[in-house]
């Protein structure tokens, strides 16, 4: 776990933010991650492809949150 956190901490902020704004939001109308989170809230996220899709589009946001937490902790 320590190596992963070190790796996330070493990522450039610009790279993480660009990943969130591109992969994290694509397709843009409406943002795909928003659709998947709405499906999750309604209990309609049942197909494996939907779970994969939510995970795939959510990775940049997870990295952003971890990086922000590590930065605040410093």
Residues near 64 by Cβ (< 8 Å), separated by ≥ 6? 16, 17, 20
Residue 72 lies in a domain: no
* Closest C-alpha among 30, 28, 29, 26 to residue 58: 26
- Rounded to a whole number of angstroms, the distance between the first and last alpha carbons of the chain is 18
Residue 8 lies in a domain: yes
Residue 17 lies in a domain: yes
Domain with 52, as residue range(s), is 2-67
Residue 14 lies in a domain: yes
Q: In this structure, how many other beta carbons lie within 10 angstroms of the beta carbon of residue 47?
A: 10
The share of the chain scoring above pLDDT 90, in percent, equals 65
Q: Give me the pLDDT at residue 64, please.
A: 96
Residue 73 lies in a domain: no
Q: In the chain, how many domains are there?
A: 1
**pLDDT by residue (tens digit) across 30-59?**
888 888 899 999 999 899 998 998 899 999
């Amino acid at each position: 776990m320590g190596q992963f956190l070190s790796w996330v901490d070493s990522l450039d902020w610009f790279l993480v933010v660009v990943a969130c704004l591109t992969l994290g939001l694509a397709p843009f109308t409406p943002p795909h991650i928003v659709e998947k989170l709405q499906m999750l809230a309604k209990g309609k996220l049942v197909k494996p492809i939907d779970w994969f899709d939510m995970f795939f589009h959510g990775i940049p946001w997870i990295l952003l949150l971890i990086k922000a937490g590590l930065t605040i902790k410093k």
